[in-house]
Structure 1
Amino acid sequence: MIPKMKVYEELLDTKVVAVIRGKNAEEATAISEAALEGGMRAIEVTYTTPGAGQVIERLSGTDALVGAGTVLDAETARHALLAGAAFIVSPHFDPEVARLCNRYSTPYLPGCMTIKEMVLASEAGCDILKLFPANGFEPSFIRSVQGPLPNVRIMPTGGINKENMNSWLEAGAVAVGVGSDLTKTYRASGREAVVESARNYMAAVQR
């Protein structure tokens, strides 16, 4: 198991998390491996993908930082941890998932949209909060939140692409989650196009 603080350090360093939603385990694995070849280091395999646990187990044997996404309850979170997930991501905040992740010293990144949700998640020990869906907000929302909550770290996900990614990071996001762009690229143009897209993302964030 990767130490909790090491996971946070890697997320903050890489700044881009590839959110993978595949129609099956084979597709999700192919997209993930292409993203990794293109230089992405953090992968979030969503539990809307059939066989997500198999994908996590396979990828966790590599140098990638592999987490589980769309985790709706503690049972799914435990399944993901047993498969080798290094972090857990939800579209919402669930206190039972937070409790389980704290028990096993695993980062939990819950989806939050309101100040109340962010306060509750922070009080439950969540150090990075996922703003989801981010396409319903402007990057300036982060500065507005950090007025009353200066210690909140936010990772916007949903509607993030190469064109707006750096606007979010410059506004104070500690990382961003990107996903649909990679999946669409794979289905339209194949594996090598995903590799190239991942390279472009990482080059853009380095600039």
Structure 2
Amino acid sequence: MQKLNILKRISEEQIMAIVRVDTIERAEEIVQGCLAGQISCVEISYTNTNAGEIIQELKTRYAQKLLVGAGTVLDGETARQAILKGAEFIIAPNFSEDVAKICNRYQIPYMPGCFSVSEVVEALSSGADMIKIFPGSSLIGPDMIKTIKTPLPWVPMLSSGGATPDNISEWLNAGVDCVGVGSLLTKGTAEEIAKNACAFQQKLKEIKKKA
């Protein structure tokens, strides 16, 4: 049930902050801004060596208020370490069968990066729960999502980069289940991040009213 609840929360919230930080203090400032703007899904990138400690500390401080996952997880060893530190989902720029096995063992959602239909099918066949369209979604935009969704309309998808409050409707209309947002939700003060988060949430409300 834990895995299903995590995936349900991600798909319902529809926005995830992509966070790369060096310190827990900066991570907390970003999280405070996101939460003030009603965004509670956060990916902490393993491009920094202390990502595990940051994930652990955030879960200790915020518990269920925050859904925290690990990003840029390239191998099974890193995936297991992240999960033991409290990561509730695993995201990567690539697909790894070893990571898929670890995530399935611990019943943690796995969202590997794929660029082609062949990669998407391979990842799904190995138990991936959602596909991160990478780097296509940031380079090409929503059209990349439509391209993949045409032959594979059932695939849950996560975008990574390129989304703003002004164009988020294009991403959602293309078939994205969750929109990954970087600088708009991680740069500046907590107040500036909160302002951007509120702008995203306002657009989501408008989109839902029209649906």
Structure 1 length normalisation: TM-score?
Answer: 0.91
Task: Give the alignment's Cα RMSD to 1 decimal.
Answer: 1.5
Q: Offset of 1:159 from its aligned partner?
A: 2.1
1:129, distance to aligned residue in structure 2 (A): 0.4
Aligned pairs, number: 202
Consecutive aligned runs of 4 or more in structure 1 exceeding 3 Å deviation:
none
Q: Which residue of 2 aligns with 1:202?
A: 201
Deviation string, structure 1 residues 142-184 (Cα, Å, up to 9, x no partner): 2322222222111110222222222110111111100122233
Residue 90 (structure 1) shift: 0.3
- Match in the other structure for 1:48: 47
CA distance in 1, matches of 2:92, 2:157: 14
Q: 2:183 aligns with which of 173, 180, 185?
A: 180
Q: What residue is the counterpart of 1:119 in the other structure? A: 121
Q: Which residue of 1 aligns with 2:147?
A: 144
The amino acid of 2:163's aligned partner reads I
- Matched residue of 1:58: which SS? helix
Q: Is the 8 A contact 1:162 1:201 kept in 2?
A: yes
Counterpart of 2:32 in structure 1 is 33
Q: Is the 8 A contact 1:91 1:112 kept in 2?
A: yes
Letter matched to residue 69 of structure 2: G
CA apart distance, 1:136? 1.5
Q: Amino acid of the residue matched to residue 168 of structure 2? A: M
Structure 1: how far apart are the matches of 2:146 and 2:97?
Answer: 26
**Contiguous gaps of at least 5 residues in structure 2:** 207-211
- Is the partner of 2:127 in helix, strand or coil? coil
Give the SS at the match of 1:60: helix
Conservation of the 8 A alpha-carbon contact between 2:20 and 2:48: yes
Q: 2: CA distance between counterparts of 1:80 and 1:113?
A: 24
SS of corresponding position for 1:152: coil
Contact kept? 1:25, 1:52, Cα under 8 Å: no
Aligned twin of 2:162: 159
TM-score by length of 2: 0.90
Identity among equivalent pairs (%): 39
